[in-house]
Structure 1
Amino acid sequence: MENITIQKKLEKIKEQEETLLFKSFSNENALEIGLFIIESAKKFNKSVAVNIVKNGQTVFHYAMDGTSPDQDEWIKKKSNVVFRHHHSSYYMKLYNKLKNRSYFEFYSVSPFEYAIHGGAFPITIEGSGVIGVITVSGLSQEEDHELIVEAITKFQTSLL
């Protein structure tokens, strides 16, 4: 039964990754999405750190009051997963759980450099591929992931 639930979550995340694409992505877009994530967290009285990297450059970073330097470490590790696999960190967690294998052993990576916890989502340009990552740290991994998905969805809706 658990594998069916994991499979359904994987399918949902894969669909998000395939539909939440950008035609282009500017630093101004990063600011807008980053601020939306911060405002959403405030509505729930939650503290998060947000980081957005585009083409190797950090174009947005904010750590709300109540976060710690530890969040920056989680951001680096979760972002590394996206840069390596071009999938969200939550997708990779569930994918490896479904396969019943250790991510770290299978991919020969260090838990000091990679974290397969939800909260890092690829910035994918239609026709080009992954050019960056949006990462949130501070909530449960599913909530971190959903904050990003909600922000990208709202951003895309505002363009219509």
Structure 2
Amino acid sequence: MTTSPRKLGVPPQAILTNVIQVDEILAQEKRVTLLHFNADDAFELGISIRNRLRELSENPAVVNIILANNQQLLFHAILRFGFSTWAAHNMFDQGDENTFKARFQLGEQAGDYAIHGGGFAVRVQAVEGPVAAVVVSGLAQEEDHQVILECLQVLLDVQK
């Protein structure tokens, strides 16, 4: 007998840049601040995300976890601003790239930053700024975000 996968939670989202929703997204991200993050933790997080994605969809998906000192473009927005791309997406009129570019005066570097859900900063207690970034792509952007959030919560629960 097969069981159906448990439903994915619904992340908060701004409706016409509703600041309350953005604040809720940022608060959720803060709640999953880990006690530590090393190679074993990254591996466990990656496996957890992979397994969760396979429960939710038969479609292919990409999972990438990288340390904060790496220079891959996918992670620039997460590492520069310190919050998820889903939060950024909701801060700027549902992903308005021009508003985002103007707000941070990115000029020609605007293409280095993405504000679509699926990128998430990994934080560790007593460490300033993100220590790593996780990017998931394969579901709708808000679902990519939610998978990361839920799997980070599982990892945090194990660490406690």
Same fold (TM over 0.5): yes
Aligned to 1:115: 114
Amino acid at match of 1:81: A
What is the TM-score with the length of structure 1 in the denominator? 0.77
Q: For each residue in 1:17-49, what CA deviation from the matched residue of structure 2 results, as whole angstroms up to 9, or x when unmatched?
A: 211101210011000000111111111223211
- Distance in 1, matches of 2:21 and 2:50, equals 25
Aligned to 1:29: 41
Equivalences for 1:37-52 in 2 at 5 Å?
Answer: 37-44=49-56, 45-52=58-65
Where does the alignment leave 5 or more consecutive residues of structure 1 unmatched?
A: 59-74
Aligned to 2:153: 153
Structure (1 or 2) with the greater strand fraction:
1
Aligned to 2:101: 104
Aligned to 2:67: 54
CA contact (8 A) 2:119 2:145 kept: yes
CA contact (8 A) 2:34 2:159 kept: no
Aligned to 1:13: 25
- For these two proteins, the number of residue pairs brought into alignment is 141
Aligned to 1:69: none
Structure with the bigger RCO (C-alpha within 8 Å, sep 6+) is 2
Structure 1 position 13, deviation (Å):
1.0
Q: For each residue in 1:62-104, what CA deviation from the matched residue of structure 2 results, as whole angstroms up to 9, or x when unmatched?
A: xxxxxxxxxxxxx833x21111101111111111228x87101
Kindly, what percent of the aligned residue pairs are identical? 22
CA contact (8 A) 2:78 2:121 kept: yes
- Distance in 1, matches of 2:104 and 2:127, equals 25
Relative to structure 1, the CA distance from residue 13 to residue 2 in structure 2 (aligned partners, 3 Å threshold; closer, same or farther) is closer
Aligned to 1:71: none
Where does the alignment leave 5 or more consecutive residues of structure 2 unmatched?
A: 1-13
- Distance in 1, matches of 2:35 and 2:159, equals 11
- The answer to whether residue 83 in structure 2 is matched with residue 91 in structure 1 is no
Structure 1 residue runs of 4+, over 4 Å off?
none
User: What RMSD in Å do the two structures reach over aligned CA positions?
Assistant: 2.4
- Distance in 1, matches of 2:73 and 2:60, equals 18
